[in-house]
Amino acid sequence: MNVLLVAVIVILAGFLIARSRSNARRTSELRQIRGKLEQILESRSGEKLLYMTRDSELQVLMTDINRLLDSNLKASAEYARTRIASRKMLANVSHDLRTPLTVVLGYAEALHLRPHIEEDERNELLARLFGKTKEAVRLIDTFFDLAKLESGDADIPLSRINVSETCRQSILQFHEKIESLGFEVLLDIPQGPMYALGNEDALRRILDNLISNALRYGSDGRTIGLTLRDEGASVRVDVWDRGKGIEKAHQELVFERLYVLDDSRNTKMQGSGLGLTIARRLAESMGGSIELISKPYERNIFIVRLRKFNLRNS
């Protein structure tokens, strides 16, 4: 009996010693992991924790920590990119607003300092003052609209819309400008209605932005086209031109806030730099999408897709 008791004690003692050593080893490994983790966080590097343990639970823990490190690194990079974009946006907003406001101030000063000018000259100055004031208000409204879209505060109710009719009306309102620029218009819009789930005002604004963009940057090709087609589950609208287009590396950037082409500061071509950003946000708010495919001097296409309307949408 004494022999059996001694054997049990020996086994328990061995177990306790082994467990104590295992705990000490795990404590040491945890300290190493913590130290390495602190080093990675302080240096903000993309380094990961290495598996320096045979403990399966610690390996799982380190795998999860590495995932968090990767997620944190991506979030930090996105935050830095957003900060840079925000600074650039503020600089561009200040520049774009300062230009018309400076002109407004100049006209107002001229009217104030010259109270006895001829009526015709006064009326001309007032007309210019009014036009530049409207330009400044339009820019402010554009920035405000984008802010509402990005915050989710914009009210865009969805219903059945006749995309065929909206396309016709959108291109028709540019008739005079298209003629004055000498553009050829190529339309491919079905005679009958084609319905999508969307918002007519939002779609009209998207098309207005895309048509204006084609007229502004497609002048080299002197051609603008609008095509509407059925793609099964979706309705597709193409607005295209044969201008100089956009390099592949920049094709996604055109949808970024205030991204503009190098020559867009030309007063004849200048835009707010927000039209395409707003167009994408509006398309996405309707459950659709917008993309660009550009082949310079052949066909530069902005493709808008909206979900086709059916009874299940209603």
Structural domains of the chain in order of their starting residue, each with its CATH number: 2-76 (no CATH), 83-151 (1.10.287.130), 159-313 (3.30.565.10)
At 5, list the tokens.
Answer: 């008791």
For the beta carbon of residue 227, count every other beta carbon within 10 angstroms.
Answer: 16
The per-residue pLDDT for 164 is: 96
Q: Output the six-digit token pair for 176.
A: 């005079």
According to the model, what pLDDT value does residue 313 have? 55
Angle between helices 275-285 and 119-151 (to 10 degrees): 40
For 293, the 3-state DSSP assignment is: strand
Is 276 in contact with 284 (CB distance < 8 Å)?
A: no
**What is the pLDDT tens value at each position of the chain, 314 positions in all?**
555 544 544 555 555 555 555 566 667 766 776 676 777 667 677 777 665 666 677 667 777 777 877 787 788 777 777 777 667 666 766 767 777 888 888 888 888 888 888 888 888 889 988 888 888 887 788 777 777 777 777 788 999 999 999 999 999 999 999 999 999 999 999 999 999 999 999 999 999 999 998 998 888 889 999 999 999 899 999 999 999 888 777 777 777 765 554 444 344 434 446 788 889 999 999 999 999 999 888 899 999 999 998 755 55
Report how far residue 233's alpha carbon sits from residue 196's, in angstroms, rounded to the nearest whole number: 10
Under 8 Å between Cβ of 237 and 303? yes
CA distance 202 to 283: 8
Letter for the amino acid at 69?
L
**d(Cα 232, Cα 194) in Å, to the nearest integer?**
12
CA 117 to chain centre: 49
Residue 264 pLDDT: 43
Quick one: pLDDT at residue 36? 66
pLDDT at residue number 29: 65
Rounded Cα distance, 305 and 234, in Å: 6
